[in-house]
Every structure is written in C-alpha cells, then in structure tokens.
Chains A and B, each alone.
Chain A
Amino acid sequence: MSLIARIEDDLCLAHGDCEAVTPEAFRVDDVARVVGETTDERLRAAARACPAGAIVLYDADTGEEVEA
C-alpha cells in the first residue's frame, strides 16, 4: 500500500511531534505541513505521535482513509 498524509488544519495545534518523528515529511511553523515523501511506516509513526490526531492517512490507490 502507498499512503498519503493530510493535515487537518482545524485540529493541528503545532505540537511538533510529526516533525520530530518524521522530519523528512513534515514541517511545523504556524501549523504542520506535508513537505516531503517518506515510507508508509514513517507516515504512520508520525500520525500516531500527533497528540491532536490531526494527521489523516489515505490509501493512494483507493483514496480511502486508513488507520494509522
């Protein structure tokens, strides 16, 4: 499976855990943004680390939401 990450801006409180865990894919200034690509496992790790649950993962093929 190939995953795509999206940040829910309304939920993001800029905790910064995504950038700390997966710096190649996330950057946080006013809110978190997706800035690069990485492996599915590292995207999952970032999504699980987010205390606000603001990172949503989708299956790139089906477009369906995928559990982190």
Chain B
Amino acid sequence: MGLLIVGGGLAAQRCIEVLRAAGDDRAVTVVCAEPARPYDRPPLSKEGLLRPVDTAFRDEAWYREHDVELRLGVAARSLDAPARRVLLASGEPLRYDALLIATGAAARTLPGLPRARVLRTRRDAERLRARLADGRPLAVVGAGLIGLEAAASARALGAEVTVVEAAPRPLAGILGPRAGAWLMALHRAQGVVLRTGVTVERDRRDALVLSDGTRVPAVHVLAGVGVAPAAGWLAGSGLDPTGVRVDEAGRTGLPSVYAAGDVTGTGHWEAASRGGTAVARALLGRGRLPASPPSFWSDQHGVRLQCVGDPRGAREVLAYGDLASRCFELDHLQEGRTSAVLLAGRPPSALRAARARLTIPETTRRAA
C-alpha cells in the first residue's frame, strides 16, 4: 500500500524527493520497466553521446536510506482504479493508497525506415555512441530538440552529419521563423548539413534518397521525430491511453490517481519536474505552486538556448542583440503582451528578467 509510482523517470524522482524532504515517510514503491535506477535524460543527447556519463539521480543506498522500494525491469500491464490495484506484466497485483502514473513517453519510430535508431533511453545513447565511434556519416531525420542536439554532438565527434526535416525550418513546432533561421545558420556554421522542406523517400544502404531526388550519406540513421505518451497500458482504466489529462495538481479525475511528466503529453523536462513536484505537494496537502510559464532549454554547439512562455502564434517578434552573434533575445508578442522570450547565450539575470516580462495566461487544462 502507500504510494505506488509506475515509471521511474524525472517526474517520479521529483515526487519522491519533495515528499522525503518534507519528512513524509509513507511507503513508496517504484515500478519501472527500464532496468535502471531513475536517471536524467537531457545529457543523453549532449555529452552522453561524447563519452559515458552516469546520469542516475541517486545511488542505490539513497533509495534504501529513504525507504523507497525500486522494482526495476518490471512493467505494468493494467490499472483497475475501483480496486485501487495495478496489475504487473507478471500478473502480480499491487494495491495502492495513491498512484502516480509516470510512465513517460516512447520515441516515435519511422515506419519506412526500420534501421533508424531512436534516442530516448540510456541504452539508446550508449548504442548510438558506440556506433558513431566509427566516424562514418550520420543522418538525423527530424530537426527537433533531440535531433539537433544529437547532430551537434555527432559533429563534435567529427562525424559528417546531415539533418533532414520536412518543415521549412528546424524546431518549427516550437520556434518562429526568425529563431529557426538563426538556428539553421548556427548548425550550418558548425558544419551540419541541414536539409529542410524534404522528406526521406528511400533507404539506399549507406544513403537516404530524399523527396527532391538528392541523396544524403547515412551509414547511421537517427530518428528524432518526437515522442508519444507511454499510456497504452491504461486502456480500459477510464484514462486516455493516448495521453493522461491532469489538472495543475496532477490529478487525473480517478480517485487518488495522479499523473505527471511526458505521459501527460507535456514533453519537456521542466514540465515533468514541475509535474512531479505538484503531485508531491498535493499528497502533502500543500497549496499549488504558483502558475509558471512553460519553459525549456537546449545546448547546441556550445550555445545555450532558453525559452520561457509559448512562442507559437506570436504576431510580432522583437530582437534585442545581434542575431548574427550567439547572444541575443527574441521577445514574442501576441495580443499586446509578451507571450514568450527566446534567449541565446544570455546570463541568468537575463532569463529572470525575461520571465518578468511574461504575462502568465490562465491555464485551461481540466481534469478528465
């Protein structure tokens, strides 16, 4: 009984950390399909491709000392909410007083390109790093955060790198045209070949044939085409198996069932951290955290990018600083207010000032 956490990523770890730091000593069991202690993922596409890095949040002793039972390499099969019970893949039932669903997301794959690898887990990163060690060309399909960071890392290793993106510019889903053009120039200046507005037509062993008939070298292929919430095991539970909807406290609408992180469709590290914390606060009977704008960061070619707010749909973009440099800010304006700020190579004080410029929109998400 006690708190059962299904999934062992950031959201799970944040929830445990906040509970234990508050002196809460309820029984906590973590069931995690991956056979590894909870670890941090952002380094995997950055320095994790350059050298082995240990990104585990805590050592084994910490979980013992904090009375947290880790059941690793154990997947959940289904949720029976009326019985307050999770069924494991082995058939073993686990009862709970409170349940946190934190099964994260799985990297999408490319159906027409089965040899393309994905980069989501520590094992994925280790395998990709081993492959890239031969110095042969890498093609990355998808110019999202993971694809671009992996491309930058592979370049740092000296590989010939091509990024193929169907949209007209990189990070098109989250950045506007100006930032996208700048990012494209940054990658090109570092020797990454960025092919936008094209798709992969055929796989030719050591090359990919694109929709415009050109070929790109591709001994190794990485698919960076987003993630999908790992919520399929919740089919039939009353929760949406394509992504669990939650309120600001992480409540799902089912009694004592919470969810946080990528399984709720949020998709960024900072949202998962906030989500895990929010659930711990709800379990502790504490008030909600003050509403906070969405945010993410990325490190590419030695430049730190930070974004607060939601830049999508901005009507106007004001640039402070020189976009030809690696140090500037882009204020995104929408309906007379600053909806997002993108910062490149700026100091911490600039990020705090950018946050202050944002007017936080009312959240419209509701429990399912």
- A-side interface residues toward B, CB under 8 Å? 8, 10-11, 13-16, 29-30, 47-48, 50-56, 65, 67-68
In the docked arrangement, what's the CA distance between A15 and B40, Å?
A: 9
Residue of B nearest to A47 (CB): B348
The stretch of B18-26, B101-109, B311-319, B329-337 in contact with A is B18-26
Check if A65 sits within 8 Å of B17, measured CB to CB.
no
Top 3 A-B residue pairs of the complex, sorted by shortest distance between their CB atoms: A53-B351, A53-B348, A30-B21
Residue B290 interfacial (CB < 8 Å): yes
Residues of A close to B355: CB separation below 8 A: 11, 53
Distance (Å) between the CB of A43 and the closest chain B CB? Answer: 12
Can you identify 13 A-B contacts, CB atoms within 8 angstroms?
Answer: A8-B352, A13-B270, A15-B269, A29-B20, A30-B18, A30-B277, A47-B348, A48-B347, A51-B304, A52-B295, A56-B349, A65-B349, A68-B349
Residues of A close to B57: CB separation below 8 A: 16
Check if A29 sits within 8 Å of B273, measured CB to CB.
no
**For the complex, would chain B's binding face be called helix, strand, loop or mixed by DSSP majority?**
helix
- B-side interface residues toward A, CB under 8 Å? 14, 17-18, 20-22, 40, 57, 269-270, 273-274, 277, 280, 290, 292, 295, 297, 304, 306, 347-352, 355
In the docked arrangement, what's the CA distance between A15 and B348, Å?
A: 14
Check if B351 sits within 8 Å of A68, measured CB to CB.
no
In the docked arrangement, what's the CA distance between A22 and B280, Å?
A: 27
Check if B17 sits within 8 Å of A52, measured CB to CB.
no
Check if A50 sits within 8 Å of B290, measured CB to CB.
no
Residue of B nearest to A16 (CB): B40
In the docked arrangement, what's the CA distance between A56 and B269, Å?
A: 22
Residue of B nearest to A12 (CB): B273
Residues of A close to B348: CB separation below 8 A: 47-48, 50, 53-56, 68
